[in-house]
Structure 1
Amino acid sequence: MEYVNLAGMSPDGVDEILDKRLVGECNIEEVRDLAAVAHKCLQKFQRKRPSIGEVSQAILKIKQRCLAKEDTMSIEVSRVLTRIEDQQVELSRMASIKGVE
């Protein structure tokens, strides 16, 4: 397994443990966020470690941000497709008007 250091992108050193095969295959920010949660769980002193509830909440927030991004992207794609369809209709209408002249 080869690791990658995405220089200067992670002050907590999380990037130093990332498998370079992940780059381009997933959202690195989400991986970073999950790794940061895992890192907190590895604290030497128990009182510094998050509870399972806190871990669950952190993971849920990451998942919700991911879903929100997907929703936003799908809305944007839908808008672009609608605009393309509208332009195709307009071009067809213009072509038919020119054909009548």
Structure 2
Amino acid sequence: MLFKMENVNLIYDIDKEVPTYALKNINLSLDGRNFIGIMGPSGSGKSSLLYALAGFKIPTSGKVYYNDLDYSKVSPSENENIRRREFGFIFQRHFFN
């Protein structure tokens, strides 16, 4: 399995009275042999899902795996090296100065 998510929750504003769930109880397996389209309205969690799959965002709870590697068990520098070698991104918002 190329990507796997197990009971992933990604919560923004967790310290507020009403937290905002970007991802709620996501279970997903992707084998990497197909093209996948992710569609939904603005604010539905598409970018948060991709950021979690690539290790940019650490889930509030649950597990994310890439090639059987549990992101929660790798150091930030190892995670960065994986992204540099394995991923390509075109961000919807860029922050170049």
Q: TM-score, normalised by structure 2?
A: 0.28
* Structure showing greater Rg: 1
Q: Which has the higher helix share?
A: 1
1 or 2 for the larger relative contact order (CA 8 Å, sep ≥6)?
Answer: 2
Relative to its length, the structure with more strand (as a share) is 2
